[in-house]
Structure 1
Amino acid sequence: MCGRFTLTGIFDELIIRYGIEYALDPFHDPRYNVAPMQMIAAVIHDGERNRLGQLRWGLVPSWAKDESMASRMINARSETLLERPSFRNLVSRKRCLIPADSFYEWKTINGKKQPIRFMLEDESIFSMAGLYDSWICPKSGEKISTCTIITTSPNELVADVHDRMPVILRKEDEQKWINGHNTDTAQLLSLLVPFSEAEMKCHTVSPIVGNVRNDGPECIEKVILN
């Protein structure tokens, strides 16, 4: 699964990275420990251009009676997207990119859960494949836009730690994924594969990552185990 990630760059870096022509007032500050049910940066395509905004991490389908399922819908398995009512209709019409520059997974080492940070070899921003939807609260009428991160089988680097990893799209495939004019389901699903381990690296970090209240640069610092 993918349950924590980072996006340590500044807002202007996102604007440049995703070719955003217009954006709301800067809403993003460097994040070192992003957790489910928080607001996160996301990129969608409105039919003409890329748009950068915020979605809440934890999908609430438009047809849901309440928000109770959100915390259980932070990830969507790529292999079963078309089998799940919550996801299958979104594949064809509500796809997004979720920017990140690393993600965390935990491995038991010497009897303790040890967080490990995975990133690209050059530590640059990458895009996780996501789906999004909007839900309207029956009582208040409030509109809430939420998302889920798609996962796939792990590459060899991640497999030593976890049996799933987020789908990291190659740069050349990002527009194919979010362009709403692309309705080729087979092509879309073919993009949801493990990213090459040859282009990734990882290192151990402090256990403080386990507490969502810790969200500073110390979360990503490399820790040498004794």
Structure 2
Amino acid sequence: MCGRFAITLPDDAMAQLFGALPSNDLPEVPRYNVCPTTQIATLTSAEGARRLRPMRWGLIPHWYKTPTDGPLLINARAETVAEKPAFRAACRERRCIVPASGFYEWTKDAEGNRLPWYITRADGAPMAFAAIWQEWSREGEDKVDGPTCAIVTTAATHEMAEIHHRTPVILEPDDWALWLGEAGKGAAPLMQPPPEGALRMWRVDRAVNSNRASGESLIEPIAP
């Protein structure tokens, strides 16, 4: 799965990278410990225009009466995303991209302590996670509304599997238009693991185990 990530690109750099118009309410960057249920920057495309816009990380199906009516859906499995009732319409009609610099996964030592790892692209380029989104709203005295999203994951590469058995689907620039629906249909083949050797990873300090931790030191390597 993907439960935490980092994004360090400034808004204007993200907009230039994706050829998108940025919203004026994007979350502040850099962020070294992006957690579920927070607002994240996403890329969508409609009527021939790309937009960088904020969404809540954690897709809320339209039938939820409250955000906690069911499981927290921060990830969608590539193998079943087109079939699950919570995801299938979004997979067909509302695909988006989540920009990231890297993401975290955890192993455990002999005592059961959670040991965090930071994973990024070996070539140093920004990551573009495949994702899907869903508008959600609740009427009433405390009305809540807005777009929500989930990151698509797939089976890990051999090297990544030593840390975790799942990895986000990482899209290459040539695939962005197809995933966003700009280049027709047939995006399913894009939901594959990255090639072997495409990722690099290193142990980081256990400070990131807290969702309140922040700062560049969270991604600095430490001795395994």
TM-score, with normalisation over the residues of structure 1? 0.92
Task: Name the counterpart of 1:117.
Answer: 118
Letter of the 1:204 partner, please give it.
R
Cα distance in 1 between the residues matched to 2:89 and 2:42: 19
Q: Is the 8 A contact 1:28 1:41 kept in 2?
A: no
- 1:13-162 matches, within 5 Å, as 13-21=13-21, 23-24=23-24, 27-69=27-69, 72-111=72-111, 112-139=113-140, 140-162=142-164
**What is the CA-CA distance between 1:123 and the residue it aligns to?**
2.3
CA RMSD after TM alignment: 1.7
The change in CA–CA distance for 1:207 and 1:24 in structure 2 (over 3 A counts) is: same
Alignment deviations for residues 19-57 of structure 1 (CA, whole Å, 9 cap, x no partner): 124542664310101110110010000121110010000
1:169-180 counterparts in 2 under 5 A?
A: 169-179=171-181
Change (3 A) 1:216 1:69: farther
Aligned pairs for 1:182-201 (under 5 A) are 182=184, 184=185, 187-201=186-200
CA distance 1:146–1:198, change in 2 (3 Å): same
Q: Does 2:166 match 1:167?
A: no
Mapped contact 1:152–1:165 kept (Cα < 8 A): yes
Say whether the 8 Å CA contact 1:93–1:180 is kept in structure 2. no
User: Structure 1 or 2: larger helix share?
Assistant: 1
| C-alpha displacement of 1:70 | 6.7
Q: Alignment identity in percent?
A: 32
Partner-residue secondary structure (3-state), 1:29? coil
Partners of 1:60 and 1:35 lie apart in 2 by 16
Residue by residue over 1:103-142, the C-alpha shift from the partner in whole angstroms, topping out at 9 and shown as x without a partner, is 1000113433210111001222111010101111132443
Distance in 2 (CA, whole Å) between partners of 1:36 and 1:180 is 28
Structure 2: gaps (5+ residues): none
Contact kept, 8 Å, 2:11 with 2:22, in 1: the verdict is: no
Aligned partner letter, 1:192: M
**For 1:19 and 1:5, how far apart are their aligned partners in 2?**
23
| Residues 1:50 and 1:213: Cα distance change in structure 2 (over 3 Å) | same
| Cα separation, 1, equivalents of 2:165 and 2:12 | 34
AA aligned to 2:12 is D
Does 2:216 align with 1:222?
no
1:204 aligns with 2:206: no
| SS in structure 1 of the partner of residue 191 of structure 2 | coil
The total of aligned residue pairs comes to 222
Letter in 2 for 1:113: R
Deviation of 1:71 after TM superposition, in Å, equals 5.6
SS at match of 2:93: coil
**TM-score normalised by the chain length of structure 2:** 0.93
